[in-house]
Structure 1
């Protein structure tokens, strides 16, 4: 187990949220709305409403960055406080990669440190599984969090930091 870690994003009062992009299902005609903000503790807060109207059903925050070598790590760790709902954590080897590697996490309503081994990130494109190998763990250029549980619902996810372990 690697003792080395690399923080990909640390939320704080000084965090630059312009590094994060919102992708709502409006790209497909949907009406879901998500946003990211900082709370009084400096944590990132991903909130909004998922709508199933007009074939919608998801909203996502994504952070693309210059790809970094990740071969010395074996997992992604997120410190978060959810609302009891499930979220997809996604990674890409580079922002230009057309598909992502996804892993579904369940939140409890309490603070959690969720560690996802690279081997558990499975390839998909627009929600469909691909017959490719799991995330290879060589380089990473994007991290995203998506909610899309096939139901209309409001959500709130508080995030402290995202780290490679």
Structure 2
């Protein structure tokens, strides 16, 4: 299928071959009750679950690790997703740390219910965050992206579904 990002470098296409390992990190790590996780099926990443605000919860996330990416020759990521009308974040991780834990470089994107969308996330839109708090730095090191992930934390209880067809560097 031809798209506006056909010339981009494909980072993930969820074919099952040479794909990194995906894992869930939810608010249960701090007492919350949200559930969610990754499923690879039909050549796509399905990130689905239920967001709960109980016990000061309210987030669910998935991350892929096992590959390192040098994105220094790109200006942005492009993603093809089908969502549920909710807002998600894409997150990149390097070896940068704050208080001994990994910093996320995050940007939000909106989805339309049951509609495939291609979205461009410029690297300059990524902001360093740590446990939900914005940080002043450090800047992202695009030469060594160690993890890629998605997060939902829109303060709306209920089921969520994000399907990711591909992720490209452009």
TM over 0.5: yes
The equivalent position to 1:10 in structure 2, one of 5, 8, 13, is 13
User: How does the TM-score come out when normalised to structure 1?
Assistant: 0.87
Match of 1:120 in 2: 125
| CA-to-aligned-CA distance 1:43-76 (integer Å, 9 cap, x gap) | 2211110011111111101012342221111111
Q: 1:49 to 1:17 in 2, by over 3 A?
A: farther
Q: 1:134 to 1:83 in 2, by over 3 A?
A: farther
Q: 1:153 to 1:16 in 2, by over 3 A?
A: farther
Deviation at 1:142, TM superposition (A): 1.0
Match of 2:94 in 1: 93
Structure 1: runs of 5+ lacking an equivalent: none
Structure 2: runs of 5+ lacking an equivalent: 1-5
Q: 1:138 to 1:16 in 2, by over 3 A?
A: closer
Match of 2:24 in 1: 22
Bigger CA drift: 129-138 or 27-36? 129-138
RMSD: 2.4
The answer to whether the Cα contact below 8 Å between 1:59 and 1:147 also exists between their aligned partners in 2 is yes
How many angstroms apart in 2 are the aligned matches of 1:22 and 1:54? 19
The answer to whether the Cα contact below 8 Å between 2:94 and 2:102 also exists between their aligned partners in 1 is no
How many angstroms apart in 1 are the aligned matches of 2:19 and 2:39? 7
| CA-to-aligned-CA distance 1:72-124 (integer Å, 9 cap, x gap) | 11111111101100001110124876211110100012101111111100111
User: How does the TM-score come out when normalised to structure 2?
Assistant: 0.85
The equivalent position to 1:37 in structure 2, one of 36, 39, 43, is 39
